Amino acid sequence: MITVRRANERGHAAHGWLDSYHTFSFASYQDPQFMGFRSLRVINEDRVIPGAGFGTHGHKDMEIITYVLEGAVEHKDSIGNGSIIQPGEVQKMSAGTGILHSEYNPSDTEAVHLLQIWIIPEQKGIKPSYEQQKFNLEANAGKLQLIAAPEGKNGAVTLQQDVNLYAGMLQEGDRISYTLPENRHAWLQVARGKVSLNGTSLDAGDGVAISDESEINLTAQNNAEILLFDLN
């Protein structure tokens, strides 16, 4: 079963400094039909103007992934981390018992375009932790690359949940097939470009819930970037 969540059906919040689209219910946008998918709780597509950002705020018991598409994000947190996240890098925070952090656009001229992803962890109350890893997606164009997974397998950042997250950059005409194991589910998020999934055309910002399907077949209809979540 394939259920498409179109980009133009998402929740939208415009705050001047922040333009955000919510795939699932978030903050003041609440839709009981879209509270998440399996352990995937949030996918927000954010654009932040130069010099602005999210001031210091707290999270607890959530796996939080930052995936930058354009520009850069400056991160600081209460467990001593400070870094710049750029395209090709993946940031993961395990909020656990509690963490404070801020996320700013450090540029004076360039907006930042990113995806904020929240995954519900298997266990509450773990020790907070932080990881940041660079992946050469362009060198692996036309393929799926594992970027987040339990135990950090194959060099991915570590998730405290049974989720394998893949990223892929595709050029027009590229084809990718993914075999979904029995009793597993998937969510596809089109970050950029246009693809076809098992014959269904998808545009940037579209998401797809996938269950009871053994094969996921993707074709890039133009240059595209996608995220694929393999979920229990």
Which residues does the chain have with pLDDT short of 70? none
Q: What is the CATH number of the domain that holds 93?
A: 2.60.120.10
pLDDT per position as a tens digit, 150-192: 999 999 999 999 999 999 999 999 999 999 999 999 999 999 9
User: What pLDDT was estimated at residue 229?
Assistant: 98
216 with 150: CB under 8 angstroms? no
Neighbours of 170 (CB within 10 A): 25
CA 45 – CA 28 distance, rounded (Å): 16
Report the number of distinct structural domains present in the chain: 1
User: What pLDDT was estimated at residue 22?
Assistant: 98
Helices (H) and strands (E) in the chain, counts: 0, 22
User: DSSP letters along 75-134, please?
Assistant: EEETTS-EEEE-TTEEEEEE-TT-EEEEEE---SS--EEEEEEEE--SSSSPPPEEEEEE
Length of the chain: 232
pLDDT per position as a tens digit, 91-105: 999 999 999 999 999
Domain coverage including residue 218? 2-231
